């Protein structure tokens, strides 16, 4: 890999950051009191004990030495706290980001090697820049295209990949990493007789201990206690001297400043991963912030959160960290532990640094199989069975989206899974909008004010010369061809209804193609000896059609603000000889003997 050039400062960025992130002083600074400090200190200490085992576990998932999980847990939350808007969200290493980092880099570098570590740090810089650009440009709407079904499929697939990757550690099998699930299981089966039952017992002990503590005492540091139990079991079996593999000595406990390097080749090669990690990180951050805000009553500034995540990853890359985001687990525990301001996240980072000086030597005794058991628990808790059940029982299209994302994550790549899910979501959405509902209506003589209702469904008589059609949905380039086919069918099935009143009350969007379609339909109706009338409701639609020259083409005589005005204008233009023979007379405006109106009906059908 060619030597990368150092990143250059961006001119004018400071002023844009001030605008995007808000004031120089955090908006929550005024909330700090002696009382809140006590709550933040308690929450910070709780968070530090929680992130201690998580840092090791997540770094392992990312293919990095343990200290890089600690670095990310120290630097990222401090910057995100200073620039973000959420009072309780805590950033740092996360499971989803860790597995994405591993998926992006493992094919190109040996996990844990210097080149791999350097690439992970550069990835943090690139992801931060991408997120910062989105925040400054206010393009946060892009994250909205990553639906819950996409994230459910992605997280479920990532959880299974994490679990599969740990089986070799659980069984203490010395087999190489492989990108193919089929090949991986083949190697596991081949080496299964070599399983170390002591490692398996330690992993199961860690898994069950962590799960039991989480169930009985949710606020206790279950991961830390699970590792403690696994370490005791390992020592009883003889530890490393008896052949059990341990984490070993952790060197360089505190992050140090070091300029990251960024080359154009890196961006070109890992551009897809940068975008995928950036979007997933922002989605995690917004989901965490909004979820806790529902409980705290706080208002979240989404743009500020985007900028904060970008700045936190950029700053983290200068201190040898890999990409991070807001953590669901740590943020929830932070809130439940009594945090009042983002100072709790800063205190957690400081407590973590202090605790490491005392407990780091003990990691030399922590068994790898015990850590694998903890990671299996992390993977299990990632799977949202309630959301999966909700998707399966409610929507076929959402099932397809989640399934495609899930299978893509398992058998293709994690970043491609995100893109596949998003593109499929958009395709299914566009398919739905390309077929808007077209209803044919008529006034109901038995209802007050002769309310217009669906004609066929309610057995209502229609005017033999006038077709009244309503659109519910967007009238844009994607739906025009569908509408054209539907209207041609009207011409074939209803040849005598040469006049058309088109109601656009429920239309969501109209573009140039939709406007041209209405002008085209008006010309066809006129050529057949009929007329095309348009009824509008919203000022926005009226203004837009005026800009698109629809008013000029149809003339103001054919554009109306109510059905009453429209019918009053259309009925006199109908063929009076046909009207004379007609017995339906569904409109009060029809010539000849008036139909008997309801006792409380309005003066005219046009009133509705």
The contacts of residue 254 (CB under 8 Å, 6+ apart) are 74, 353, 356
- DSSP for 494-560 reads -TT--EEEEEEEE---B-HHHHHHHHHHHHHHHHTT--EEEE---HHHHHHHHHTTHHHHH-GGGEE
CA distance 425 to 416: 14
Query: For residue 91, what are the β-bridge partners?
Result: 326
Arithmetic mean of pLDDT, 373-388: 83
Q: Which of 373, 398, 426 delimits the end of a domain?
A: 426
Bigger pLDDT: 175 vs 44: 44
Residues 462 and 594 in one domain: yes
In a domain, 14, yes or no: no
Question: Quick check: 149 pLDDT over 60?
Answer: yes
Residues 109 and 131 in one domain: yes
Cβ atoms of 324 and 127 within 8 Å: the answer is: no
CA distance 490 to 394: 34
Residues 528 and 419 in one domain: no
CA distance 152 to 405: 8
In a domain, 7, yes or no: no
Q: How confident is the model at residue 360 (pLDDT cuts 50, 70, 90)?
A: confident
Question: Quick check: 391 pLDDT over 50?
Answer: yes
Cβ atoms of 280 and 62 within 8 Å: the answer is: no
Q: How confident is the model at residue 368, as a pLDDT?
A: 83
Which helix (H) or strand (E) element contains residue 438? strand 437-443
The domain total for the chain is: 2
In a domain, 541, yes or no: yes
In this prediction the pTM is 0.69
Bigger pLDDT: 208 vs 222: 208
The contacts of residue 100 (CB under 8 Å, 6+ apart) are 158, 273, 276, 277, 280, 323, 414, 415
Question: Quick check: 185 pLDDT over 60?
Answer: yes
Read off the tokens for 214: 């989480």
Read off the tokens for 306: 């985007």
Query: 559 phi and psi, to 5 degrees?
Result: -120, 130
Read off the tokens for 245: 């593999």
CA distance 53 to 375: 10
Q: How confident is the model at residue 24 (pLDDT cuts 50, 70, 90)?
A: low
CATH number for the domain that contains residue 484: 3.30.750.24
Q: In what order do the strands lie in the sheet with 532-535?
A: 452-454, 437-443, 466-472, 499-506, 532-535, 559-560
Which helix (H) or strand (E) element contains residue 82? helix 66-83
In a domain, 494, yes or no: yes
Q: How confident is the model at residue 8, as a pLDDT?
A: 39
Residues 288 and 199 in one domain: yes
Q: How confident is the model at residue 507, as a pLDDT?
A: 61
Q: Which of 398, 426, 454 delimits the end of a domain?
A: 426
pLDDT tens-place string over residues 301-356: 778 888 999 999 999 999 999 999 988 778 877 887 788 888 999 999 999 998 88
pLDDT tens-place string over residues 477-529: 888 888 889 889 988 888 888 888 888 875 667 888 888 888 888 888 888 88
Read off the tokens for 233: 């079991």
Q: How confident is the model at residue 506, as a pLDDT?
A: 58
Which structural domain range is residue 96 located in? Answer: 32-250+266-426
**Beta strands per DSSP E along 185-254:** none
Instruction: Residue count of the chain, please give it.
Output: 608
Residues 302 and 444 in one domain: no
Q: How confident is the model at residue 21, as a pLDDT?
A: 47
Residues 303 and 199 in one domain: yes
Residues 472 and 538 in one domain: yes
Residues 175 and 282 in one domain: yes
Cβ atoms of 338 and 114 within 8 Å: the answer is: no
CA distance 263 to 5: 5
Residues 355 and 482 in one domain: no
In a domain, 16, yes or no: no
CA distance 92 to 74: 7
Residues 322 and 177 in one domain: yes
Residues 181 and 103 in one domain: yes
Instruction: Choose from 58-67, 289-298, 447-456 the range with maximum mean pLDDT.
Output: 58-67
In a domain, 568, yes or no: yes
Q: Which of 394, 426, 458 delimits the end of a domain?
A: 426
User: 3-class DSSP state for residue 467?
Assistant: strand
Q: How confident is the model at residue 508, as a pLDDT?
A: 61
Dihedral angle over CA of 537, 542, 548, 550, nearest 10: 70
User: 3-class DSSP state for residue 180?
Assistant: coil
Residues 462 and 349 in one domain: no
The contacts of residue 495 (CB under 8 Å, 6+ apart) are none
Read off the tokens for 224: 């830390």
Q: What angle do CA 263, 269, 270 make, to 5 degrees?
A: 95
In a domain, 204, yes or no: yes
Q: How confident is the model at residue 413, as a pLDDT?
A: 75
In a domain, 352, yes or no: yes
């Amino acid at each position: 890999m060619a030597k990368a050039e150092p990143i250059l400062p961006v001119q004018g960025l400071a002023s844009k950051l001030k605008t995007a992130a808000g004031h120089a002083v955090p908006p929550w600074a005024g909330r700090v009191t002696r009382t809140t400090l006590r709550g933040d200190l308690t929450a910070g200490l709780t968070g530090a004990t929680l992130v201690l085992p998580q840092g090791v576990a997540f770094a392992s998932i990312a293919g990095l030495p343990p200290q890089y999980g600690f670095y990310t847990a120290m630097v990222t939350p401090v910057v995100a706290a200073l620039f973000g808007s959420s009072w309780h969200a805590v950033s740092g290493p996360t499971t989803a980001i860790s597995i994405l980092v591993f998926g992006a880099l493992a094919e190109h570098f040996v996990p844990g090697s210097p080149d791999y570590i350097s690439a992970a740090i550069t990835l943090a810089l690139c992801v931060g820049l991408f997120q910062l650009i989105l925040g400054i440009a206010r393009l946060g709407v892009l994250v909205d295209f990553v639906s819950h079904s996409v994230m459910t499929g992605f997280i479920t697939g990532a959880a299974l990949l994490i679990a599969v990757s740990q089986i070799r550690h659980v069984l203490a099998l010395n087999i190489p990493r492989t990108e193919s699930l089929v090949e991986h299981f083949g190697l596991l089966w081949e080496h299964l007789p070599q399983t170390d039952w002591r490692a398996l017992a330690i992993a199961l002990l860690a898994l069950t201990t962590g799960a039991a503590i989480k169930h009985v005492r949710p606020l206790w540091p279950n991961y830390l206690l699970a590792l403690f139990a696994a370490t005791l079991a390992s020592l009883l079996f003889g530890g490393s001297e008896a052949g059990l593999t341990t984490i070993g000595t952790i060197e360089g406990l505190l992050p140090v400043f070091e300029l990251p390097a960024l080359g154009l080749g890196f961006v070109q090669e890992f551009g897809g991963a940068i975008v995928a990690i950036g979007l997933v990180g922002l989605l995690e951050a917004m989901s965490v912030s909004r979820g806790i805000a529902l409980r705290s009553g706080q208002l979240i500034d989404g743009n500020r959160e985007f900028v904060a995540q970008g700045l936190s990853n950029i700053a983290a890359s200068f201190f040898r960290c890999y990409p991070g985001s807001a953590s669901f687990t740590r943020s929830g525990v932070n809130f439940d532990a009594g945090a009042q301001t983002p100072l709790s996240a800063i205190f957690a980072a400081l407590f973590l640094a202090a605790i490491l000086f005392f407990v780091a030597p003990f990691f030399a005794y922590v068994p790898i199989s015990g850590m694998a058991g903890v990671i299996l628990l992390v993977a299990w808790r990632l799977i949202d069975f309630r959301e999966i059940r909700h998707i399966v029982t409610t929507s076929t299209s959402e099932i397809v989206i989640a399934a495609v994302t899930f299978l893509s994550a398992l058998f293709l790549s994690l970043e491609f899974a995100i893109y596949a899910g998003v593109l499929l979501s958009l395709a299914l959405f566009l398919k739905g909008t390309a077929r808007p509902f077209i209803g044919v209506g008529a006034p109901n003589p038995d209802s007050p004010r002769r309310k217009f209702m669906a004609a066929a469904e309610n057995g209502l008589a229609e005017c033999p010369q006038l077709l009244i059609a309503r659109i519910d949905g967007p009238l844009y380039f994607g739906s025009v061809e569908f509408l054209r086919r539907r209207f041609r069918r009207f011409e074939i099935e209803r040849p005598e209804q040469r006049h058309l009143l088109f109601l656009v009350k429920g239309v969501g969007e109209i573009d140039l193609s939709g406007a041209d379609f209405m002008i085209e339909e008006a010309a066809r109706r006129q050529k057949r000896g009929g007329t095309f009338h348009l009824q509008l409701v919203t000022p926005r639609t009226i203004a837009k059609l005026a800009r698109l020259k629809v008013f000029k083409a149809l003339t103001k005589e054919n554009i109306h603000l109510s059905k009453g005005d429209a019918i009053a204008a259309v009925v006199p233009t109908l063929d009076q000889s046909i009207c004379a023979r007609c017995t339906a007379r569904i409109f009060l405006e029809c010539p000849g003997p008036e139909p008997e109106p309801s006792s409380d009906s309005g003066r005219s059908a046009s009133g509705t």
